[in-house]
């Protein structure tokens, strides 16, 4: 099955996604490609970092389950092998809402969760803490509320990321229940 965690940048998707996979060993985190430059201190395997020519060649070869432009950079999910929609394996995608919409079309049984910040001020504070410049932070803030709305219109389940531990538990339980319902066992 395919599980999608979307929501505005800075809401904590990355942390929640890696904790989810650590606590639920049946869940495998997909590694995206991006044309964004690596941030200072960011792990070299947070993404497959490529230039635009490489990315576009992969798009032309139909190498992505979904891909999108996000604030002047390209991001995409490579196909997670055959049978990615079934019960053989369970993949977690941590992607933006445009990507979530494409996954919904391609994989109708995908389970989509949108992570929401406790408040707008808290989201701005988190974005500022990551070292992006002022203009970038404000551009992201403008996108954030629109992203949350768009995710709900896709039928995403909303979870407020206030207490990290509780959020991971809540999302993990949602995912686990979906696997048990569809596949009977994990």
- Residue 3 near ligand 5GP by CB under 6 A: no
How many CB atoms neighbour CB 163 within 10 A? Answer: 11
Closest approach, Cβ 76 to ligand 5GP, in A, equals 5
Let me know: does 110 contact 154? Beta carbons within 8 Å.
no
Residue nearest to ligand 5GP (CB): 99
Verify binding: residue 9, ligand 5GP, rule CB under 6 A. yes
% helix, strand, coil for the chain, step of 5: 40, 20, 35
Size of the site for ligand 5GP (CB under 6 A): 15
Residue 21 CB, nearest approach to ligand 5GP (Å)? 15
Here the tokens at position 181 are: 């319902």
Is 84 among the residues that bind ligand 5GP (CB under 6 A)? no
Reduced to 3 states (helix: H, G, I; strand: E, B; else coil), residue 81 is: coil
Distance CA 165, CA 37 (A): 30
- By CB under 6 A, residue 161 contacts ligand 5GP: no
- Helix 13-23 × helix 164-183 angle, to 10°: 60
Question: Do the Cβ atoms of 124 and 137 come closer than 8 Å?
Answer: yes
For the CB of residue 97, give the shortest distance to ligand 5GP in the complex, in Å: 8
- The reply to whether 95 sits near ligand 5GP by the rule CB under 6 A is yes
The reply to whether 15 sits near ligand 5GP by the rule CB under 6 A is no
CB 47 within 8 A of CB 32: yes
Considering beta carbons, is residue 1 or 65 the nearer one to ligand 5GP?
A: 65
36 vs 73: CA distance, rounded Å: 5
Which of residues 96 and 116 has its CB atom nearest to ligand 5GP in the complex? 96
* Site for ligand 5GP, rule CB under 6 A: 9, 13, 32, 36, 66, 68, 70, 75-77, 94-96, 98-99
């Amino acid at each position: 099955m395919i599980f999608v965690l979307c929501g505005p940048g800075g809401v904590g998707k990355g942390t929640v996604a890696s904790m989810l996979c650590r606590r639920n060993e049946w869940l495998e985190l997909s590694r995206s490609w991006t044309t964004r430059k690596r941030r200072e201190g960011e792990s070299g395997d947070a993404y497959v970092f490529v230039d635009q020519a490489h990315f576009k060649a992969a798009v032309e070869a139909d190498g992505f389950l979904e891909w999108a432009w996000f604030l002047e950079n390209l991001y995409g999910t490579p196909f997670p092998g055959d049978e990615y929609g079934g019960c053989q394996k369970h993949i977690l995608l941590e992607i933006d809402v445009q990507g979530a919409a494409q996954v919904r079309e391609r994989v109708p049984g995908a389970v989509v969760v949108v992570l929401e910040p406790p408040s707008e001020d808290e989201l701005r504070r988190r974005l500022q803490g990551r070292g992006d410049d002022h203009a970038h932070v404000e551009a992201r803030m403008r996108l954030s509320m629109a992203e949350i709305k768009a995710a709900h219109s896709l039928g995403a389940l909303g979870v407020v990321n206030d207490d990290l531990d509780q959020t991971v538990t809540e999302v993990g339980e949602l995912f686990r229940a979906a696997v048990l319902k569809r596949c009977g066992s994990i």
